[in-house]
Amino acid sequence: VQLQASGGGLVQAGGSLRLSCAASGRSSRTSTTGWFRQVPGKEREFVAVLFRSGSATYFADSVKGRFTLSRDSAKNTVYLQMNSLKPEDTAVYYCANSEQVISSTVTRASSYGYWGQGTLVTVSS
């Protein structure tokens, strides 16, 4: 399984970005896709998850109401739409994938076996 994260960039506070996580080697509908972010010196932080098969999602409190998830099955891609961005959203964003993760552990980075390379999001104030 290979994951390709893209879509990061520089945006002003209040702006929007859409990140993409394109998967090869596995259908996004048969696996759970999580998004995490990391800033230097800190642990990787859970952001959001799109559960396999259906459209169930779960978001960290810090992004709830501002970020949404969607899936394009034809492109085997999961999107993280980020609106009302804040400077504290600045980080490298990673997508991750797992067929085995259970709902009680989706916020743990260790629950995911496959990771994309990360895409940098910078929000200026």
Count Cα atoms within 13 angstroms, Cβ side, for 96. 23
Distance, CA of 19 to CA of 79 (rounded, Å): 6
Structure-derived torsion over alpha carbons of residues 55, 26, 107, 71, reported in degrees to the nearest 10: -30
Task: Give the integer Cα–Cα distance in Å for 113 and 33.
Answer: 11
* pLDDT confidence of residue 1: 84
Q: According to the model, what pLDDT value does residue 111 have?
A: 95
Residue 30 has a pLDDT of 77
Taking only the tens place, the pLDDT of each residue in 71-124 is 998 999 999 999 999 999 999 999 999 988 888 899 999 999 999 999 999 999
Residue 28 in this model has a pLDDT that exceeds 70: no
